[in-house]
Amino acid sequence: MKTFENQAAQGDVLFRRVEKLPADAKPKKLGKGPVVVAHSETGHNHQFGTAHGIEVFEVGDPMVCYLRLAGPSQLDHLRPHDTHEAIMFNAGTYEVRRQREYTPQGWRRVED
Distance CA 70, CA 90 (A): 8
User: pLDDT tens digits for 84-112?
Assistant: 788 999 999 999 998 766 677 865 555 55
**Single pTM value for the model:** 0.83
Mean pLDDT, consecutive 10-residue segments, the chain of 112 residues? Answer: 86 92 95 82 78 90 93 84 81 89 65 55
* Domains: count for the chain: 1
Residue (of 65, 69, 63) closest to 100 by Cα position: 63
Chain length of the chain: 112
- Around Cβ 74, how many Cβ atoms within 10 Å? 13
Domain that holds residue 65: 2-109
